[in-house]
Amino acid sequence: MDDRCQKFSAGAAAIFSTWTALRLSIDNSSNPNAEQMATDLQADVIDWFVQEGATNEIMPDELQDFLESVFDRELHTDVEDGSIRQVSEMLCSMFKQCFAGDYTLVTKALQVQYGGNQSKVEEKLWGGVPIIPGTKIADDDEDEPTEDNKETTEMEEDGAPAPKEKPKRRRKPKPQADADGWTTVGGA
């Protein structure tokens, strides 16, 4: 796995885990699968960047449209605080920085996630800990870096595979509306 992708994944996971609008959507959802949907959303976005971002720049507007559709269709939430735009811009900037070898935004996101605990941030960034359980990141198994060739392997890699398309979201059954046509969002 490319070190830049690993660090981007850690930063992106930190952003998703501290995103208030996403957390509130999950906590107040009547859907028992809301937590899994958020995990899938995070994995889909990270995979999209890793698979396509190195060869075909992902624009904040494009990511924003995708996130808004997921919040609307799957989490049944209308986010009006501007955070979808902020998260989209931050993820796009973070990805560009990571591929330039600059991990400033990743470090800041991890500091927020870990409450400023620098040792946890450093462990996550440099300790080789698994980034997101269950997230598959594109890599070439035969070119897996070892301690002896890690530095040269990272310098020789050109990036992620050719672009495919936006991540496909699994369709979830929509909640049933009451007689007036309203659907209540909230815990039971």
Stretch 26-53: mean pLDDT: 91
Of 13, 5, 45, 21, residue with least CA distance to 168: 45
Distance CA(188)–CA(183), nearest Å, equals 13
Q: How far apart are CA 49 and CA 186, in angstroms?
A: 32
Distance CA 167, CA 49 (A): 10
Rounded Cα gap, residues 3 and 150, in angstroms: 9
3-state secondary structure 65-93: HHHHHHHHHCCCCCCCCCHHHHHHHHHHH
pLDDT digit string, tens, across residues 131-188: 443 333 333 333 444 444 444 334 344 444 444 455 555 444 445 566 666 665 544 4
| pLDDT score of 159 | 44
Q: Is the pLDDT of residue 111 over 70?
A: yes
**Would you state the torsion angle of the CA atoms of residues 134, 138, 143, 148, taken in this order, to the nearest 10 degrees?**
-60
pLDDT tens string 47-104 = 999 998 878 889 999 999 999 999 998 888 899 999 999 999 999 999 999 999 999 9
**Distance between CA 26 and CA 187 in Å, rounded?**
10
Note whether 62 and 25 are within 8 A (CB).
Answer: no
Judged by DSSP in three states, 25 sits in helix
pTM value > 0.95 = no
Q: Under a CB-based contact definition with an 8 Å cutoff, are residues 91 and 85 in contact? A: no
